[in-house]
Amino acid sequence: MRFRHKVAAGLATLVLPLAGLVGLASPAPAADSAQAAGVTAGFTKSSDWGTGFGGQWTIKNSGTTAISSWTVEWDFPSGTSVTSAWDADVTSSGNHWTAKNKSYNGTLAPGASVSFGFNGAGSGNPSNCTLNGGSCDGTTVPGDAAPSAPGTPTASGVTDTSVKISWSAATDDKGVKNYDVLRDGKAVATVTGTSYTDTGLTAGSDYSYSVQARDTADQTGPVSAAVAVHTTGGSTTPPPAGGKVKLGYFTDWGIYARNYNVKNLVTSGSAAKITHINYAFGNITGGKCAIGDSYADYDKAFTADQAVNGVADTWDQPLRGNFNQLRELKAKYPNLKVIWSFGGWTWSGGFADAAKDPAGFAQSCYDLVNDPRWADVFDGIDIDWEYPNDCGLTCDTSGPEAFKNVMAALRAKFGSGRLVTAAVSADGSNGGKIDSADYAGAAQYVDWYNVMTYDFFGAWDAQGPTAPHSPLTSYSGIPKAGFTTADAMAKYKAAGVPASKLLIGIGFYGRGWTGVTQDAPGGTATGPAAGTYEQGIEDYKVLKSSCPVTGTVAGTAYAHCGGNWWSYDTPSTIAGKMSWAKSQGLGGAFFWEFSGDTSDGELVNAISSNL
């Protein structure tokens, strides 16, 4: 697709708090060095930027006796240090740090508290806290450290609805009391042993488990590494009415200028009328799958009015961004499947390196899709390689077998329980892009192909001739033979690709020229028509009113208004294309992309109701 490019967000990732309370409440000595009950010290990280952090200690007098001075001491792991401090005099001896009150903030009356802060280098947390020589934890002695991380859990006894999680014990100088079991980052149980059976799960679903130890002082240690679990049963593809796939693309960059969020799929009614979502795009770099936009994908905090569940994101929740919103959407629509699409027009150049080591590429994609933070969000992977052994934004020379080899490696790694799909060319011309790669040989490894039956013609040919960008069939005067939906599908089927593995593509946008005087296709132009985000392209929701349909040709619509000429699909032409797709035995339809539709999803409805 020519306009599938990565749009720069122009936003910086927010620096947010990443760690909670470390030092716990404890008794502390009074001003005359006698012990004063109820004086405590606690630590928080107020911010974290990876190579450093902001820290804050708070001393609170919850007792009945005033104190007139305080000294807080702690240990940092090697590599972590204080670089600057305020409201306290901070010194160190090796990894041991001491903070004493200033002249103006040493006295604490009952009920009062005082804080001092610092900037730190490194990533460690304080341990072995003492306050005025006593413990910072009221139930422990000075020097009590938090427990270690338990071993990485293992999964056994996986069924449709349950799994047993086991791990090796953590260590602690005073003894481990129990363990918190975390599913998808949230505690689901606290147990005294080193195993737990989780029940009530959903068949055919993905979960992530980790464990955290607690010592006898109720201090929590670091969270273990996670294990991904996929329950048995379920169905890879939900059984939609008529058995057809109805898939739409959701773009990561749509949340910026377009202000199109996952919640819009709910408010428009579209989520209830589709079976699958392709999330676009992940990057392909260095022969591996990689994150496309980390801020949009998993960091952006959505407000309550933007969130699918109506609850605002918080700084400390394990997952934010579009991934969490997709998780919420799937909770609302349990049969909906989400596929992570990699590549696209801009990032397809990375597939050349991927083709050199298909197994290594597949492993990298599997690891990323199944990252414990979002393993439950995605039901498979989609490859959008534009184009194998041919030219798109760049030219690929990987050879005719490269695409087949990559898809075979992905299927071998992801197994039969996950979806493996691909967006493919619709160039049905003789010697065209479909002839450049072994799509028929690769078909055995994919669940379906999204045949990109749009962008056949457009204002990259600035002087025209004007032509519909998504013709269903040929017509007299078409600029290039074979550039139609029917020609592309016929070519794939003749090569041996089953019709049931071919999806027809619909563009929720139009392509247009300016400087056009002729109503019918075939006119001359002076350049691309103006568009909201890019010249020569505009959303259907805009065009339906700004440049209404003049006529139809080859199963799609065109419009001539003023000096502009546009082509785009409407509910009526989509109905005709869906009827044709059914007559051809195709597996369903897909579209690019949700934000081009009207606020009430009239194009999605046209696909759903006619397919």
Q: Give the burial class of 171: count Cβ atoms within 10 A of its Cβ; 0-12 exposed, 13-18 middle, 19 or more buried.
A: middle
- The topology under which CATH files domain 154-230 is Immunoglobulin-like (2.60.40)
- Can you name the residues that pair with 214 across neighbouring β-strands? 178, 220
Report pTM.
Answer: 0.65
Give me the pLDDT at residue 137, please.
Answer: 60
**What element of type H or E holds 581?**
helix 571-583
SS3 317: coil
Give me the pLDDT at residue 379, please.
Answer: 96
Which residue, 136, 70, 81, is CA-closest to 109? 70
Q: Which of 386, 538, 593, 602 is catalytic?
A: 386
Q: Is the pLDDT of residue 280 over 50?
A: yes
Where along the chain do the CATH 2.60.40.10 domains lie? Answer: 154-230
CA distance 605 to 486: 23
- Per DSSP bridges, beta strands 206-215 and 176-183 are antiparallel
Give me the pLDDT at residue 283, please.
Answer: 98
CA distance 551 to 351: 41
476 contacts: CB under 8 Å, gap ≥ 6: none
For 156-159, the CB contacts below 8 A with 24+ separation are 157/197, 158/229, 158/230, 158/231, 158/232, 159/231, 159/232, 159/233
CA distance 87 to 84: 11
Is 386 catalytic? The answer is yes
For 394-403, the CB contacts below 8 A with 24+ separation are 394/348, 394/349, 396/348, 396/349, 396/351, 396/352, 397/352, 398/351, 398/352, 398/355, 399/355, 400/436, 400/437, 400/438, 401/438, 401/441, 402/351, 402/355, 402/437, 403/355, 403/437, 403/438, 403/439, 403/442
Give me the pLDDT at residue 494, please.
Answer: 94
Class of the CATH domain delimited by 28-135: mainly beta
Burial 224-238 (b: 16+ CB within 10 A, else e): bebbbbbbeeeeebe
Where along the chain do the CATH 2.60.40.290 domains lie? Answer: 28-135
Contact status, residue 540 vs residue 603, Cβ threshold 8 Å? yes
The residue type of 356 is K
**Which tokens sit at 256?**
């910026």
Within its chain, how far is the Cα of 446 from the centroid? 22
Which residue, 558, 575, 577, is CA-closest to 566? 558
CA distance 31 to 89: 18
Taken as a whole, the chain contains a residue count of 611
Q: Is the pLDDT of residue 217 over 80?
A: no
pLDDT, mean of residues 545-569: 97
Class of the CATH domain delimited by 241-507+570-610: alpha beta
In this predicted model, what pLDDT tens digit does every residue of 141-187 receive, in sequence order?
344 577 899 999 998 888 878 899 999 999 988 788 899 999 988 88
CA distance 99 to 97: 7
Give me the pLDDT at residue 124, please.
Answer: 84
**Which tokens sit at 353?**
């390196």
Helix 485-495 vs helix 571-583: crossing angle, to nearest 10: 20
In this predicted model, what pLDDT tens digit does every residue of 492-504 receive, in sequence order?
999 999 999 999 9
Work out the pLDDT band at 17, boundaries 50, 70, 90. Answer: very low
Contact status, residue 221 vs residue 182, Cβ threshold 8 Å? no
Give me the pLDDT at residue 68, please.
Answer: 85
- Can you name the residues that pair with 532 across neighbouring β-strands? none
pLDDT, mean of residues 587-611: 96
What is the DSSP annotation of 420-454?
Answer: EEEEE----STTSGGGGS-HHHHGGG-SEEEE---
Neighbours of 327 (CB within 10 A): 19
Work out the pLDDT band at 201, boundaries 50, 70, 90. Answer: confident
Percent residues over pLDDT 70 in the chain:
91
Helix 358-369 vs helix 402-414: crossing angle, to nearest 10: 40
552 contacts: CB under 8 Å, gap ≥ 6: 558, 573
Give me the pLDDT at residue 165, please.
Answer: 93
CA distance 248 to 377: 16
Q: Is the pLDDT of residue 428 over 70?
A: yes
SS3 93: strand
Contact status, residue 467 vs residue 516, Cβ threshold 8 Å? no
Where along the chain do the CATH 3.20.20.80 domains lie? Answer: 241-507+570-610
- Peptide bond preceding 456: is omega within 30 degrees of 0, i.e. cis? no
* Average pLDDT of the residues of the chain: 88
Angle value at C-alpha 285, between 279 and 290, nearest 5 degrees: 40
Q: Is the pLDDT of residue 11 over 80?
A: no
Contact status, residue 190 vs residue 173, Cβ threshold 8 Å? no
- 171, 472, 527 from 151: Cα distances, Å: 10, 58, 63
